[in-house]
């Protein structure tokens, strides 16, 4: 095993903090990932949290169509379109008109920091769309605050040694920062504050899984690729693997090929994914967590 890599032997149930997308909430995100949660329940427990801010729904035709489509998806016969699904459209931040100021971001970060410590321990963060970007921002924020804490406190030689290994061993095992981030349709933030936090996350060498929709018309695949490449470039010792595995995750493309949503289908056992320990999304997640070659940054492109 490579030096400085956490020695993970027992496959215990691990806990992921889940961050919903723009105009969603924890209830919506939890319902729409029901199959996904069942598929990975052997290894992972998912904890969902709602963003503190009310979303400003864009007054755009395409946005209206997407929201209508998502509402239709939710009302699939097993739900009745309750107010908790449709009325609470939340956001981790609200962008200014110019798009470079993220109003409410600091409040969300502080709230999530409290959740991280009070409802954990967590092993990682999973986010969708705005929540995917927020997952990396939170990872950077946790790394930054932990670094400041260490610098403010007297360090023993052992503690100093742990910190000097890029927080890869002791701090992560103590759940101070995530072991991994799973980002579905994330994007590079436009705010200076957000970019600085992405830099912090990259420097922490947190293992990342980036899932990108080929036909995503809401978050352009190029934007998601830019986020993955930015984190890769920041890390000085990154191993990046591109997994071309459209069956690992799949949008509901037969009904609506331009969906921007995180709706999981059952894994296809007849179509194994390369370099993964199992089929479906569980394989790539297990791969980044138990990989013995150091920092790993996996990217899956799905249809």
pLDDT of 22 > 70? The answer is yes
234 found inside a domain: yes
CATH of the domain at 127: 3.40.50.1820
Domain count, the chain: 1
178 found inside a domain: yes
DSSP calls for 278-290: SSTTHHHHHHHHH
pLDDT of 97 > 70? The answer is yes
Write down the mean pLDDT value for the chain: 69
Please give the pLDDT value at position 128: 92
SS3 (DSSP) at 302: strand
Please give the pLDDT value at position 98: 84
pLDDT of 194 > 80? The answer is yes
1 found inside a domain: no
How far, in Å, CA of 271 to CA of 286, rounded?
A: 17
Share of the chain above pLDDT 90, in %: 32
The residue-averaged pLDDT of 272-294 equals: 41
Contacts of 47 (CB under 8 A, 6+ apart): 15, 16, 17, 18, 119, 122
6 found inside a domain: no
Top pLDDT among 266 and 220 is at 220
Top pLDDT among 191 and 158 is at 191
How far, in Å, CA of 46 to CA of 49, rounded?
A: 10
Please give the pLDDT value at position 154: 60
Please give the pLDDT value at position 268: 34
pLDDT of 63 > 80? The answer is no
4 found inside a domain: no
Please give the pLDDT value at position 168: 46
5 found inside a domain: no
194 found inside a domain: yes
Its domain, for residue 129, covers 14-302
Please give the pLDDT value at position 122: 94
Of the candidate ranges 67-76, 130-139, 249-258, the one whose mean pLDDT is the lowest: 249-258
3 found inside a domain: no
């Amino acid at each position: 095993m490579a030096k400085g890599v956490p020695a993970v032997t027992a496959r215990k149930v691990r806990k992921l903090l889940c961050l919903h997308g723009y105009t969603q909430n924890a209830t919506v995100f939890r319902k729409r990932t029901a199959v996904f949660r069942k598929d990975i329940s052997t290894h992972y427990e998912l904890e969902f949290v709602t963003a503190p801010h009310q979303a400003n729904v864009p007054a755009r035709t395409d946005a209206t169509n997407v929201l209508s489509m998502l509402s239709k998806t939710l009302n699939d016969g097993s739900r009745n379109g309750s107010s908790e699904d449709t009325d609470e459209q939340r956001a981790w931040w609200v962008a200014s008109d110019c798009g470079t100021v993220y109003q409410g971001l600091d409040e969300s970060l502080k709230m999530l920091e409290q959740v991280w410590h009070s409802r954990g321990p967590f092993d990682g963060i999973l986010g969708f769309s705005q929540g995917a970007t927020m997952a990396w921002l939170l990872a950077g924020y946790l790394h930054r605050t932990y670094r400041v804490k260490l610098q403010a406190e007297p360090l023993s030689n052992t503690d100093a040694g742990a910190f000097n290994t890029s927080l890869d061993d002791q701090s992560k095992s103590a759940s101070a920062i995530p072991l991994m981030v799973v980002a579905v349709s994330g994007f590079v933030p436009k705010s200076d504050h957000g970019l600085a936090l992405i830099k912090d996350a990259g420097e922490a060498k947190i293992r990342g899984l980036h899932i990108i929709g080929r036909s995503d018309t809401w978050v352009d695949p190029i934007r998601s690729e830019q986020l993955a490449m930015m984190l890769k470039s920041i890390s000085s010792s990154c191993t990046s693997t591109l997994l071309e595995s459209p069956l690992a995750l799949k949008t509901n493309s037969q009904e609506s090929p331009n969906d921007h949503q995180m709706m999981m289908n059952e894994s296809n056992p007849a179509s194994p994914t390369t370099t993964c320990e199992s089929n479906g999304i569980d394989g790539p997640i297990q791969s980044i967590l138990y990989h013995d070659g150091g920092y790993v940054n996996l990217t899956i492109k799905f249809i």
